[in-house]
Each structure stands twice: as structure tokens, then as C-alpha cells.
Amino acid sequence: MWMEELPNGKFTYRERYKDPYTEKYKKVSVTLNSKSNQAKNKAQRVLNEKIENKLNAKNHNKITFEKLTDEFWQYYPKTVKHRTAKRAYNNQKILNKKIGPEYIIGNIDKPFIQKTLDELYYQENYSLSTTKQVKSLISQIFLFGAKREYINYNPASNIIIKRKSDNSDNATPKFLETEEIRNLLNCIKNKRYRDMAEFMILTGLRYGELSGLTYDNNFDDYFVIDGTFDYTQPITKKVKTSPKTNKSNRKIYHTARTKEIIKEVNEENKFLWLKDSVVKTDYIFCGIHGNPIGIYNFNRALQIAGRKAEIDKYISSHILRHTHISILSELGVELKTIMDRVGHTKPDVTLSIYTHVTKNMQQSMIDKLNNFKI
């Protein structure tokens, strides 16, 4: 240790140590008001502690992947919605098959993560969407480790997953054509489910937004989205949380048909509330017991109807939202207006549907070319 006197009358004590990462010599320092023996002893203790912390940092990255993820999951669920944490937990199960619990995080580098994700997508045929979700999760885990100073950097940053050349992820359009819409609605036996499906097609709501819609949200010419129903919780809890993003807080204008649907549903609800076993609720699209309808029951009804209608696409509540975007695209509505209506913050999903040419648009193009005279 050596000391330097500063112009302001204070004293800086310095000590040299070998950096464990670069193996080059570096310095630590502390400034005190005195050069007494007591001050020198204090300076030595502080410098030794600083050096010890620097040297111990080298050992932080010796912790296992299991320990890092255990710490991450104590923190992560408190920062996101329940359904987001549940989806991430499912992706964690996929990740655990590829990265063993005993793996040392300091030895996990970018090439290893790239190889892991490539195997999931190209060899094990996980969808591009799922692979990207796993990529996002592992990046969050290692970013957490970097913030805890277990590692120096996030090895999962700047990882790129290129879409398969056969474009198989987009082989089946993720929306319904006009004829498919009619067939699907005709094959949904339960009227409440049928009304819900048609309402989603006409508004582009997420299912959580639809099931969380209350009479207080509904006005003469529009309705307001100010929350979403957390359908990952038990249905009887009726948990309405904040919307998915700030952009999801929005006003959606009615069509004549959406007004009519809500009017019909309201009349049916009044009849339900006459029963002693049904508790009156504020939710518009409730079930026979007054509770919001769980997404699993709704999706099952859609899938049964989809098979009956012979629609060769995966049918779920989300395809109805995408169908709304495709309808607006066909009508020539500009991208920003569509994003505002469906509550999209980023244009990626909207653009993927907006730019997808539907059968009707193809036919329109052929009709115009047939009428074109040279």
C-alpha cells in the first residue's frame, strides 16, 4: 500500500492486485482525511476488502444454472402478470431439457446458447414463436445473473433465429377467410359462445379483454378496454387486472352488429339473474352461473366447431383477433389505425397479417387484370 497527498489536504491510499479476468495488474484506492496510523490501518482494511470483492467476483460465475434459475424464479413472478409467468414457466421446462442443472453459468457462452436454440427450432421442430419465447426467457435469466454480478455479461444477447427457408411457420394463414368465418359461426352450437366469437371477429379483442368487459365499459357508440381478465387463475376468483400493455387501454367504436350482440346478451343475462343459483355480475359475456367463461372451454368449443366446419387451421380465440386484423387489411384500413384498434404496441404481428394477401385480395387482383386492356 502507498499513500498520495492531495491538494485539498486529503490522502489517497492505493493498493495493486492482479485482475482475475485479464491477469493484468490493477489498482484500488480509498481517500481519507488523515495519514495517522489509525487512518493507515483503516485504509488497509478497506483496500483489502475491495480486492477481496474483485477476486471473489471471479468465483461468482462458478454457480450452477439450477442455482441461478432458482434465484430468478424467486424474483421474476413478482414483476409480471400471472399468465406471463405461467407461460415462461412452461418455457423453462423446455430449457431445462437442454441445459442441465449442474451446468456452470460461467461456461455457458453465446455459441452454446445459439446451438441450443437452433436445435429447438431446426431439429426438434418447436415453432418459431416458442423458440423466440425460450430465447427471451434465457436472456432474462442471464441478464438477472449479470445484474447480480454472477457473470460479466449476458451471453444470450444478440442471438438471432432465422426463419426456416421453407417458410413452414407461415404455411397456414393464422386468420379465417370470409367463408370460413361463416362456416365456423354456423357450427358453434352454444349461442353465448357464438356471440362471443362473432364479437371478437368484429372487434379484435384479446380473450382476456372480452371476458373482462363489464357494463360500465359499454357506451352508446363505443366501449372502453381498461383491463383484462386473468383466466390463468381459478374462474371463481374473477380477477380483472391491468391491460397487457399501456397501448391496450383504448376506446373501440361499435358497429351496428356489436351493439346488437351486446343487446341480445344483456337480455339473456337478465333471464339468468332471475335464477336463485346465479349471482348477478357486471361481466357482459358471463356463463350460466354468472362467472366469466374460461378460455379453455371457449377454445374447446371453437375447435369442435372448426373440425365440424372442416377448417384445416388451428382454431383458438387468438385466430379470431387475427381475423379482425385481416378484415381491416382487406378493407384498406391503414396500419396505424388497425394497431390503435387492436392495441398493438409493436407493428410486427399486425404487419405479418396486414401484408398477407388473402384469397379475396388475390381474386380482386385477377378481376382487375382481366379488365385491363392494352
Which of 102, 369, 81 is CA-nearest to residue 229? Answer: 81
Q: Per residue in 120-177, pLDDT tens?
A: 999 998 988 899 999 999 999 999 998 988 888 899 988 989 888 765 555 556 889 9
Average pLDDT of every residue of the chain: 87
Per the model's pLDDT, the better-predicted residue between 100 and 291 turns out to be 100
**3-class DSSP assignment, residue 210:** helix
From CA 17, how far away is CA 233, in angstroms rounded? 54
Per the model's pLDDT, the better-predicted residue between 70 and 21 turns out to be 70
Query: Amino acid identity, residue 122?
Result: Y
**3-class DSSP assignment, residue 293:** coil
Residue tagged active-site, from 321, 322, 324, 341: 321
206 is catalytic: yes
pLDDT at 280: 77
> What does the DSSP 8-state code read for residue 218?
B
Report the CATH fold assignment for 178-365: hpI Integrase; Chain A (1.10.443)
What's the mean pLDDT in 200-228? 93
pLDDT at 207: 93
Cα dihedral angle (255, 201, 360, 329), rounded to 10 degrees?
A: 70
Task: Determine which of 30-34, 52-56, 63-67 has the lowest per-residue pLDDT on average.
Answer: 52-56
Residue tagged active-site, from 237, 270, 300, 346: 237
* Percent of the chain with pLDDT strictly greater than 90: 53
Cβ atoms < 10 Å from Cβ of 213? 27
237 is catalytic: yes
318 is catalytic: yes
From CA 206, how far away is CA 216, in angstroms rounded? 18
From CA 238, how far away is CA 243, in angstroms rounded? 15
Torsion 285-287-289-294 (CA) sign: negative
Terminal-to-terminal C-alpha distance of the chain: 91
Residue tagged active-site, from 135, 174, 206, 240: 206
What's the mean pLDDT in 254-282? 87
pTM of the entire predicted model: 0.63
Annotated domain spans of the chain: 2-60, 65-169, 178-365
Quickly state the pLDDT bin for 250 (edges 50, 70, 90). Answer: very high
What's the mean pLDDT in 10-29? 84
pLDDT at 310: 94
87 is catalytic: no
Options 3.30.930.10, 1.10.150.130, 3.40.50.300, 1.10.10.10; CATH of 65-169: 1.10.150.130
Residue 291's region, left for phi above 0, alpha for psi from -120 to 50, else beta, is: beta
From CA 303, how far away is CA 315, in angstroms rounded? 5
pLDDT at 215: 93
Residue tagged active-site, from 35, 60, 132, 318: 318
Task: Determine which of 34-38, 127-131, 210-214, 227-231 has the lowest per-residue pLDDT on average.
Answer: 227-231
From CA 172, how far away is CA 328, in angstroms rounded? 19
Quickly state the pLDDT bin for 344 (edges 50, 70, 90). Answer: confident
Find the DSSP H helices in the chain.
Answer: 37-60, 65-75, 82-98, 110-118, 128-147, 178-187, 191-203, 207-211, 256-272, 295-308, 317-330, 335-342, 348-354, 359-370
